[in-house]
Structure 1
Amino acid sequence: MADDKQGRDKQADDEKRRQRERELEEARNRADEAEPMRDDPGEQLGDLDEALETHDYPTTTDELVEAYGDYEIETQGGWKPLHAVLAPTDNQTYGSADDVRSRIQGLIHR
């Protein structure tokens, strides 16, 4: 290609086109990725977070499932009800909302 204004313009245009193609390809590849989980437990627990704050403690896993089993929680596999998240847990006793949150966080980040 000649080293003149027209040749340089064509090279610049070709580079811009290749850059757009790379960006589109990268966006298509990212579209198949799962959304990253939020770091804030309150966001992952949704409405359950506020309910846990007002719950009476100590409490047990069974009591939590009975009271809040249908509340949806964000997990790595999508949103799941609390009863499904706590299903692998034996009946434990929790002394505070923070204890419950810690247990749930441990289960959803497996």
Structure 2
Amino acid sequence: MAKNYLQAGEFVTVLAPAALASGDPVLVGAIFGVVQFDADSGDEVELARRGIFDLPKTTGQAWTAGVKVYWDATNSLVTTTASGNTLIGAATAARVAGDTTGTVLLDGTIR
């Protein structure tokens, strides 16, 4: 292993941009992840950048498995609308328009 290797990057520690609770999805700059423990604004917090999570979704949208999903930072929801939003992964299961959560595969890619 290279002498400058630090970690795998599945989890990353950042400063919380606001008060966050375990399980909250958050975008910090270009890094999207799911909060692993509660943190106050400005505290260090660990984000999971990869994995499959149930996340809050935009109602009124039906999802199919494999559809690309994006983070709508304005509304703090996952959406299938690309314009103005950040690509975070893909849905792993179909959801009907009325569902408030969706199952999302985060691949950890910075976009």
**What TM-score range do you get, normalising by the shorter chain?**
under 0.3
What TM-score does the superposition give when structure 2 sets the normalisation length?
0.28
Which structure shows the bigger proportion of residues in helix conformation? 1
Which structure shows the bigger proportion of residues in strand conformation? 2
Q: Which is greater in Rg?
A: 1
